[in-house]
Amino acid sequence: MTILLASQRMRLYDSNELDDVLQAMARKAATMLPPAHAALIGIQRRGEPLAQRLRQYIAHHTCQPELPLYPLQVKRYADDLQVLHTYTQLTDNPALGRLDLANTTLLVVDDVLFEGHSLLRACAYLAQLGARRVYTAVLVDRHICQQPIRADIVGVHLQVAATDIVECNVPPFEQVFCIEVVRHGAAR
Protein backbone atom coordinates (compact mmCIF):
# COMPACT_ATOMS: atom_id res chain seq x y z
CA MET A 1 0.00 0.00 0.00
CA THR A 2 1.33 3.43 -0.96
CA ILE A 3 0.45 6.45 1.15
CA LEU A 4 1.38 9.92 -0.06
CA LEU A 5 1.97 12.51 2.59
CA ALA A 6 0.86 16.08 2.07
CA SER A 7 3.38 18.76 1.13
CA GLN A 8 4.96 20.67 3.96
CA ARG A 9 5.75 24.35 3.59
CA MET A 10 8.36 25.91 5.85
CA ARG A 11 9.26 29.59 5.94
CA LEU A 12 13.00 29.95 6.35
CA TYR A 13 13.50 33.72 5.96
CA ASP A 14 11.06 36.58 6.39
CA SER A 15 11.14 40.04 4.83
CA ASN A 16 13.24 41.67 7.56
CA GLU A 17 15.82 38.90 7.46
CA LEU A 18 15.99 39.08 3.66
CA ASP A 19 16.50 42.84 3.73
CA ASP A 20 19.58 42.19 5.89
CA VAL A 21 20.72 39.51 3.42
CA LEU A 22 20.31 41.91 0.48
CA GLN A 23 22.19 44.65 2.36
CA ALA A 24 25.14 42.26 2.81
CA MET A 25 24.96 41.25 -0.86
CA ALA A 26 24.94 44.93 -1.87
CA ARG A 27 28.03 45.67 0.24
CA LYS A 28 29.90 42.87 -1.51
CA ALA A 29 28.63 43.98 -4.94
CA ALA A 30 29.77 47.55 -4.25
CA THR A 31 33.36 46.30 -3.90
CA MET A 32 33.17 44.50 -7.25
CA LEU A 33 31.38 47.06 -9.42
CA PRO A 34 33.00 50.28 -10.61
CA PRO A 35 30.33 53.00 -10.24
CA ALA A 36 30.95 54.60 -13.64
CA HIS A 37 31.02 51.47 -15.79
CA ALA A 38 28.72 48.87 -14.30
CA ALA A 39 25.19 47.55 -14.85
CA LEU A 40 22.87 44.96 -13.37
CA ILE A 41 21.18 42.22 -15.38
CA GLY A 42 18.00 40.90 -13.75
CA ILE A 43 16.94 37.45 -14.89
CA GLN A 44 13.19 37.50 -15.27
CA ARG A 45 11.01 36.81 -13.37
CA ARG A 46 12.21 37.10 -9.79
CA GLY A 47 15.81 38.06 -10.52
CA GLU A 48 14.70 41.41 -11.91
CA PRO A 49 12.92 42.71 -8.78
CA LEU A 50 15.79 41.36 -6.67
CA ALA A 51 18.20 43.33 -8.88
CA GLN A 52 16.02 46.44 -8.38
CA ARG A 53 16.32 46.07 -4.61
CA LEU A 54 20.06 45.39 -4.85
CA ARG A 55 20.74 48.46 -6.95
CA GLN A 56 18.90 50.64 -4.41
CA TYR A 57 21.03 49.20 -1.62
CA ILE A 58 24.23 49.56 -3.68
CA ALA A 59 23.39 53.21 -4.41
CA HIS A 60 22.70 53.85 -0.73
CA HIS A 61 25.92 52.10 0.33
CA THR A 62 28.12 53.90 -2.23
CA CYS A 63 26.31 57.27 -2.24
CA GLN A 64 26.30 56.99 -6.04
CA PRO A 65 23.36 57.08 -8.48
CA GLU A 66 21.56 53.79 -9.10
CA LEU A 67 23.23 51.58 -11.67
CA PRO A 68 21.37 50.80 -14.89
CA LEU A 69 19.31 47.63 -14.84
CA TYR A 70 18.50 45.47 -17.85
CA PRO A 71 16.00 42.61 -17.68
CA LEU A 72 16.84 39.35 -19.40
CA GLN A 73 14.22 36.69 -20.04
CA VAL A 74 15.66 33.22 -19.45
CA LYS A 75 13.42 30.19 -18.94
CA ARG A 76 13.93 26.49 -18.38
CA TYR A 77 11.77 25.49 -15.41
CA ALA A 78 8.28 26.14 -14.15
CA ASP A 79 7.98 27.34 -10.57
CA ASP A 80 7.52 23.73 -9.46
CA LEU A 81 10.86 22.79 -11.12
CA GLN A 82 9.15 20.92 -13.93
CA VAL A 83 11.33 21.23 -17.04
CA LEU A 84 9.53 23.41 -19.58
CA HIS A 85 12.23 23.54 -22.25
CA THR A 86 14.83 20.95 -23.22
CA TYR A 87 17.27 23.77 -23.86
CA THR A 88 17.30 26.92 -21.77
CA GLN A 89 15.32 29.58 -23.62
CA LEU A 90 16.69 33.14 -23.75
CA THR A 91 15.03 36.16 -25.32
CA ASP A 92 17.46 38.78 -26.67
CA ASN A 93 17.43 42.19 -25.02
CA PRO A 94 18.37 44.66 -27.82
CA ALA A 95 19.37 47.33 -25.26
CA LEU A 96 22.29 45.14 -24.16
CA GLY A 97 23.62 45.03 -27.71
CA ARG A 98 23.89 48.83 -27.69
CA LEU A 99 26.09 48.91 -24.56
CA ASP A 100 29.89 48.98 -24.55
CA LEU A 101 29.97 45.60 -22.79
CA ALA A 102 33.73 45.23 -23.21
CA ASN A 103 34.16 48.14 -20.79
CA THR A 104 31.15 47.54 -18.52
CA THR A 105 31.23 45.29 -15.48
CA LEU A 106 28.00 43.30 -15.25
CA LEU A 107 26.27 41.70 -12.29
CA VAL A 108 23.73 39.05 -13.29
CA VAL A 109 21.08 38.59 -10.56
CA ASP A 110 18.79 35.58 -10.13
CA ASP A 111 16.72 34.18 -7.30
CA VAL A 112 17.88 30.54 -6.97
CA LEU A 113 20.95 28.75 -8.29
CA PHE A 114 19.54 25.26 -8.80
CA GLU A 115 21.15 23.26 -11.61
CA GLY A 116 22.79 26.31 -13.20
CA HIS A 117 21.20 26.22 -16.64
CA SER A 118 19.68 29.72 -16.56
CA LEU A 119 22.70 31.47 -15.09
CA LEU A 120 25.08 29.73 -17.49
CA ARG A 121 22.89 30.62 -20.50
CA ALA A 122 22.71 34.28 -19.41
CA CYS A 123 26.48 34.54 -18.94
CA ALA A 124 27.18 32.83 -22.28
CA TYR A 125 24.82 35.25 -24.01
CA LEU A 126 26.54 38.26 -22.43
CA ALA A 127 29.96 36.92 -23.42
CA GLN A 128 28.68 36.46 -26.97
CA LEU A 129 27.72 40.15 -26.95
CA GLY A 130 31.29 41.08 -25.93
CA ALA A 131 31.11 41.29 -22.13
CA ARG A 132 34.49 40.80 -20.48
CA ARG A 133 33.64 41.11 -16.78
CA VAL A 134 30.53 39.30 -15.63
CA TYR A 135 29.77 38.52 -12.00
CA THR A 136 26.79 36.61 -10.71
CA ALA A 137 24.60 37.02 -7.63
CA VAL A 138 21.85 34.75 -6.34
CA LEU A 139 19.60 35.07 -3.35
CA VAL A 140 19.79 31.29 -2.74
CA ASP A 141 22.46 28.77 -3.73
CA ARG A 142 21.21 25.19 -3.35
CA HIS A 143 24.67 23.68 -3.94
CA ILE A 144 23.49 21.10 -6.47
CA CYS A 145 24.58 22.99 -9.59
CA GLN A 146 25.33 20.65 -12.49
CA GLN A 147 26.78 23.25 -14.87
CA PRO A 148 30.21 24.95 -14.89
CA ILE A 149 28.88 28.09 -13.20
CA ARG A 150 29.01 29.52 -9.70
CA ALA A 151 27.62 32.53 -7.91
CA ASP A 152 30.12 35.23 -6.92
CA ILE A 153 27.66 36.68 -4.42
CA VAL A 154 25.31 34.42 -2.47
CA GLY A 155 22.71 35.62 -0.02
CA VAL A 156 21.70 32.30 1.53
CA HIS A 157 23.27 28.84 1.26
CA LEU A 158 20.67 26.05 1.48
CA GLN A 159 21.25 22.35 1.29
CA VAL A 160 17.87 20.69 0.99
CA ALA A 161 16.76 17.54 -0.80
CA ALA A 162 16.90 17.78 -4.59
CA THR A 163 13.16 17.08 -4.71
CA ASP A 164 12.36 19.98 -2.37
CA ILE A 165 11.34 23.26 -3.96
CA VAL A 166 12.92 26.47 -2.72
CA GLU A 167 10.44 29.30 -3.28
CA CYS A 168 11.72 32.84 -3.30
CA ASN A 169 8.61 34.93 -2.91
CA VAL A 170 9.44 38.33 -4.33
CA PRO A 171 7.05 41.25 -4.77
CA PRO A 172 5.46 42.16 -7.14
CA PHE A 173 4.96 38.48 -8.03
CA GLU A 174 4.06 37.51 -4.47
CA GLN A 175 2.68 39.61 -1.67
CA VAL A 176 5.31 38.86 0.99
CA PHE A 177 9.09 38.84 0.51
CA CYS A 178 10.29 35.53 1.98
CA ILE A 179 12.02 32.23 1.30
CA GLU A 180 10.09 29.02 1.82
CA VAL A 181 10.87 25.36 1.24
CA VAL A 182 8.15 23.07 0.00
CA ARG A 183 8.88 19.49 0.95
CA HIS A 184 6.70 16.95 -0.78
CA GLY A 185 5.55 13.95 1.18
CA ALA A 186 7.36 10.72 0.49
CA ALA A 187 5.61 7.58 -0.59
CA ARG A 188 5.61 4.80 2.00
Q: Give the pLDDT of the chain (188 residues) as one tens digit per residue.
A: 444 456 789 999 999 999 999 999 999 999 999 988 999 999 998 999 999 999 999 999 999 999 999 999 987 555 544 544 455 677 778 888 888 999 999 999 999 998 898 899 999 999 999 999 999 999 999 998 888 899 999 999 999 888 888 999 999 999 999 999 998 755 44
* Half-sphere CA count of 104, side-chain side, radius 13 A: 22
**pTM value?**
0.87
Q: What dihedral angle (degrees, nearest 10) is formed by the CA atoms of 146, 46, 86, 150?
A: -20
Residue 102, in any domain of the structure: yes
For residue 126, give its domain range: 8-76+85-183
Residues 108 and 126 sit within 8 Å (Cβ to Cβ):
yes
Please count the structural domains in the chain.
Answer: 1
Residue 175, in any domain of the structure: yes
Residue 188, in any domain of the structure: no
Residue 72, in any domain of the structure: yes
List the CATH number of the domain containing 50: 3.40.50.2020
